[in-house]
């Protein structure tokens, strides 16, 4: 029970800190520093990633931090997406909220603390950065 609450508090804090700039960057949503992996357009997720996000489309997600309450649905996305950029593209397809790459990194780092996800491409990418 503590983990979801801690995750929610961290995500809210990070989102609040990230929004202090006060203005739009002028770039497309999700473009602030996140780059697509090789062969993955930033706006389209890989087929496996899009399929993994399909169950999340039916959830009532009003903020990215809401994903902290849906670990069972998020874990397959971490295992199926090829990179953080692919994950962001998949999330953007089904979640109608602005996706902050810094919030995504925090959320995914917390989820990657689960040792069963160590071999996923996303967790390997985050561990190497």
Residue 31 has pLDDT above 50, yes or no: no
HSE-CB at 5 with a 13 A cutoff on CA atoms is: 2
35 within domain boundaries = no
Residue 86 has pLDDT above 50, yes or no: yes
Averaged pLDDT score across all residues of the chain: 75
Q: How far is it, in rounded angstroms, from Cα 34 to Cα 49? A: 17
Q: How far is it, in rounded angstroms, from Cα 14 to Cα 116? A: 26
Q: What is the pLDDT of residue 84?
A: 95
- Say what the pTM is: 0.68
57 within domain boundaries = yes
Who has greater pLDDT, 61 or 31?
61
Q: What is the pLDDT of residue 30?
A: 40
Range of the domain at 62: 2-17+42-128
56 within domain boundaries = yes
29 within domain boundaries = no
47 within domain boundaries = yes
Who has greater pLDDT, 47 or 11?
47
33 within domain boundaries = no
Residue 46 has pLDDT above 90, yes or no: yes
Do residues 75 and 118 make contact, with C-beta atoms less than 8 angstroms apart? no
Q: What is the pLDDT of residue 74?
A: 92
Residue 89 has pLDDT above 90, yes or no: yes
Q: Residue 88: which of 36, 123, 27 has the closest Cα?
A: 36
Who has greater pLDDT, 79 or 17?
79
User: In this structure, what token pair is assigned to residue 88?
Assistant: 């962001």
User: In this structure, what token pair is assigned to residue 37?
Assistant: 């992996």
Residue 8 has pLDDT above 90, yes or no: no
């Amino acid at each position: 029970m503590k983990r979801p609450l801690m995750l929610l508090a961290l995500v809210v804090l990070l989102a609040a800190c990230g929004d202090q700039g006060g203005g739009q960057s002028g770039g497309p949503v999700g473009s602030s520093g996140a780059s697509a992996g090789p062969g993955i357009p930033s706006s389209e997720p890989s087929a496996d990633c899009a399929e993994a996000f399909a169950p999340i489309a039916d959830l009532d997600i009003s903020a990215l931090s809401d994903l902290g309450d849906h670990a069972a649905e998020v874990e397959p996305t971490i295992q199926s997406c090829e990179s953080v950029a692919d994950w962001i593209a998949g999330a953007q397809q089904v979640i109608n909220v602005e996706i902050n790459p810094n919030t995504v990194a925090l959320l995914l780092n917390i989820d990657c603390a689960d040792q069963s996800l160590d071999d996923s491409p996303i967790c390997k990418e985050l561990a190497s950065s």
